[in-house]
Structure 1
Amino acid sequence: MAADVRLSSLKEWDDDQVLSAMSEGNRLALAELYERYWYVLYRVAFQKTKSSEMAEELVQDLFVQLWQKRASLTVRRVDSYLFGALKYSVIDSIKSRIVHEKFQEYQQFFAPQVDSSTEDQLAYSDLLGTIETELLKLPPKTQEVFRMSRFEGQTIPEISQKLALTDKAVEYHLSKALKLLRTQLRDYSFVWLLISFGQL
């Protein structure tokens, strides 16, 4: 009965009351916030990404993170918080997509074609070997973070969540990897630009 009362009364509560209930573990409160804001958030995300699938994913991820951080949230205005968080998610998503596209361009441009000379194939293999060799000099966690970020195009929040690290820790691992590769890939300046593209 108590759940029924809460469900019926949530519609009449203001955002702060609903957020407070959610922070105490009330899933119905989360559903109510989602119902109030998902569409306007989706429209903003769609305008920026031009992708309905990506927009839906960003909004869903936003509310998942809202629930996961419910106990530690400090929010003055719910709408400002949600739109602010969405803004950074959209930026990270676009940067991730650009990095992925640029790396694909690099692969298409530099990968030897079927009729390439043996010399070109060896040069390409040497380049890949150099990258892999240098990465292996790094701690396993740093390698993993770097690969997820630069080769898989995942964002810092995504990596943080999947590896149970803070955003700062992810940034530290990326910085560590980039510092090493910056020195070792001096002869491959174009490749280095692609790898470092999108660095925070």
Structure 2
Amino acid sequence: MNLVPLKEDGIPAESFLFKHGTTVSEGEQVVWNALREGNRKALDYIFEKYVKLLYAYGGKITKDQGIVEDAIQDLFVELWQKHAVLGATDNIKFYLLKSLRRRITRRIAVDQRKLGDHALQEDYFREVESSRESTIIQQQTTVAQQEQLTRGIAELSDRQREAIYLKFYEKMSYEQLAEVLDISLTSTYKLIGKAVDALRKSVRIIS
């Protein structure tokens, strides 16, 4: 999708869009409201700021880059086509991640039905303490530990990998994570717990 940030009288789009905002939340509202009002620079800015994140996140859901690319393109096309009826938000990243996930999982479900598989596989998880979860992710600071962590994450299920990415790398709260993944809060704790338990077994934690 060839969206390029526009400029007005030599002023970068982001400077124009953020001139009224003083905080991150306010700035997000300014950009989003500008998009809702039909400001193309707002769409360009959102695309340039979040497209790499969306590709990275999409890759946690499916290894099919074609699906990811199509979903991202469709997402931004729809944002522009339906800008006048978009709801308000002060967290654009959260909105985009949730929307992208919905599109990708819908596409996967359609593809699976075509193959005769009528449901996405569900994972069932065991809850562990939140403080221990944070420790496991945050303590991996040496090169060797980072390599162990990378291998451990690669061995997780797609669902677990996605949850770990959102929780510890995108810093989502459990409430936000539950909404994005479209599962209950209890299931979210169990999902993260199971993933971290698996990492604990594959990653050597140095106390």
Provide TM-score, normalisation by structure 2: 0.44
Considering fraction of residues, name the structure with more helix: 1
Larger Rg: 1
Identify the structure with bigger relative contact order (alpha carbons < 8 Å, sequence gap 6+): 2
